[in-house]
Chains A and B, each alone.
Chain A
Amino acid sequence: MPKSLLYAWLIFTPFILNAQKDMTGITLHFNPILNGKPIQDGILTGHINDDSIAIHTLRFYLGNFVFYKNGKEVGQDASGYHLLDMEDANTMTISLLIAADYDAIRFTLGTDSLTNASGAMGGDLDPTKGMYWAWNSGYINAKIEGYAKKCPTRNHQFEFHIGGYMPPFQTVQQVELQGIAKQEIRVDMELSAFFEQIDLGVTHGVMSPSATASEMAKLLAKTFRLHEQ
Chain B
Amino acid sequence: MSNKLPLAVIFMGIAYWFLVAASPFSSPDPVPLKYPESWPKPTYDFTKNPLTRQGIELGRRLFYDPILSKDSTVSCSNCHLSYTAFTHVDHALSHGIHDRIGTRNSPALMNLAWGSKFMWDGAANHLDMQALAPISSPVEMDETIENVVQKLGRESRYKALFHHAFGDSTVTGERLLKALSQFELNLISANSKYDQMKRGEAVFNEQENKGYVLFQNNCARCHAEPFFTNHGFEKNGLPIDTTLNDLGRMAITQLSADSLKFKVPTLRNIEFSHPYMHDGRFRKLREVLNHYAQNKELGIELTANEKVDLTAFLLTLTDKEFLFNADFAFPKN
A residues adjacent to B (C-beta < 8 A): 116-122, 125-130, 132, 134-138, 166, 169, 210
Contact B128 A119 (CB under 8 A): yes
In the complex the two chains form, what is the Cα distance from A121 to B175 in whole Å?
8
Closest B residue by C-beta to A127:
B173
Whether A122 lies near B172 (C-beta < 8 A) is yes
Q: Which 9 A-B pairs have the closest CB atoms?
A: A119-B128, A128-B173, A137-B125, A120-B128, A120-B177, A134-B132, A122-B174, A127-B173, A119-B126
Q: Mark B154-174, 1 if CB is under 8 A from A, else 0.
A: 000000000000000000111
B247 contacts partner chain A, Cβ-Cβ < 8 Å: no
Contact B174 A137 (CB under 8 A): no
Chain A residue numbers with a CB within 8 Å of B177 are 119-120, 127
**Cα–Cα distance between A169 and B252 once the two chains are bound (Å):** 11
Interface presence of B124 (CB below 8 A): yes
Q: How far is the CA of A210 from the CA of B251 in the complex (A)?
A: 12
Known: A134-B135, A134-B137. A128 touches B125 (CB 8 A): no
- In the bound complex, CA of A213 to CA of B181 (Å): 31
A residues less than 8 Å from B135 (CB atoms): 134
Tally B residues with Cβ within 8 Å of A. 28
- Residue contact B48 to A127, C-beta cutoff 8 Å: no
B245 to chain A, nearest CB (A): 17
In the bound complex, how far is the Cα of B146 from the Cα of A129, in angstroms? Answer: 8
Q: Quick check: A136 and B128 within 8 Å, CB to CB?
A: no
B133 lies within 8 A of A120 (CB): no
Which residues of chain A have C-beta atoms less than 8 A from B252's C-beta?
Answer: 136
Decide: B173 and A120 in contact? CB cutoff 8 A: yes
Say how far A210's CB is from chain B's closest CB, in angstroms: 8
Contacts of B285 in A (CB 8 A): none
**A219 CB, nearest partner CB in chain B, Å:** 21
A-facing residues in B119-162 (Cβ within 8 Å): 123-129, 132-133, 135-137, 145-146, 149
| Chain B residues whose C-beta falls within 8 Å of the C-beta of A118 in the assembled complex | 45, 48, 126
Complex contact B172–A128 (CB within 8 A):
yes
The answer to whether B45 touches A137 (Cβ under 8 A) is: no
Q: Judge whether B178 is part of the interface by a CB distance below 8 angstroms.
A: yes
A119, B48: Cβ atoms closer than 8 Å: yes
Chain B residues closer than 8 Å to A130, beta-carbon distance: 146
Known A120-B177, A134-B133; contact A127-B253, beta-carbon cutoff 8 A: no
Contact of A119 among B136, B146, B181 (CB under 8 A): B181
Q: List 10 A-B contacts (CB under 8 A).
A: A116-B125, A119-B126, A119-B127, A119-B129, A120-B126, A120-B128, A122-B174, A128-B173, A132-B132, A135-B133
Q: Say whether A134 contacts B136, CB under 8 Å.
A: yes
Number of A-B contacts (CB under 8 A): 68
* Residues B126 and A117 in contact, CB atoms below 8 Å apart: yes
Which residues does B use to contact A, with CB under 8 Å?
Answer: 45, 48-49, 123-129, 132-133, 135-137, 145-146, 149, 172-175, 177-178, 181, 252-254
**Most central of A118, A126, A132, A169 by chain B CB within 10 Å:** A126
**In the complex, which residues of chain B have a beta carbon less than 8 angstroms from the beta carbon of A120?**
49, 126, 128-129, 173-175, 177-178, 181
A residues within 8 A CB of B133? 134-135
- B126 proximity list for chain A (CB < 8 A): 117-120, 137
Consensus secondary structure, chain A interface:
loop
Contact B129 A127, beta carbon cutoff 8 Å: yes
B173 lies within 8 A of A137 (CB) = no
CA distance A137 to B136 in the complex (A): 13
B-side contacts of A128, CB under 8 Å: 145-146, 149, 172-173
Instruction: State how many angstroms separate the Cβ of A143 from the closest Cβ of chain B.
Output: 15
With A120-B174, A120-B177, A121-B174 known to touch, is A137 a contact of B146 (CB < 8 Å)?
Answer: no
Residue of B whose beta carbon sits closest to that of A168: B254
Closest Cβ of chain A to B69, distance in Å, is: 14
Given the known interface contacts A128-B149, A128-B173, A135-B123, the answer about A119 and B132 at a Cβ–Cβ threshold of 8 Å is no
Q: How far is the CA of A128 from the CA of B126 in the complex (A)?
A: 17
Tell me whether B123 and A136 are in contact (CB under 8 A).
Answer: yes
Question: In the complex, A138→B126 CA distance in Å?
Answer: 10
- Beta-carbon nearest neighbor of A166 in chain B: B253
- How far in angstroms is the closest Cβ of chain B from A128? 4
- In the assembled complex, the Cα of A210 lies from the Cα of B128 at a distance in Å of 24
Distance between Cα atoms of A116 and B126 in the complex (Å): 9
Q: Cα distance A138–B130 when bound, in Å?
A: 11
Are B145 and A137 within 8 A (Cβ)?
Answer: no
**Interface hub of B135, B137, B149, B252 (most chain A Cβ within 10 A):** B252
> In this complex, what residue of B is CB-closest to A132?
B132
Residue of A nearest to B135 (CB): A134
Given contacts A119-B48, A119-B177, A120-B128, 13 further A-B contacts (CB under 8 A): A119-B49, A119-B181, A120-B49, A120-B126, A120-B175, A120-B177, A121-B174, A127-B177, A128-B172, A132-B132, A134-B137, A137-B124, A137-B126
Q: Which residue of B lies closest to A210 (CB)?
A: B254
Q: How far is the CB of A114 from chain B (nearest CB, A)?
A: 11
The chain B residue with its CB closest to the CB of A130 is: B146
Closest Cβ neighbor of B177 among chain A residues? A120
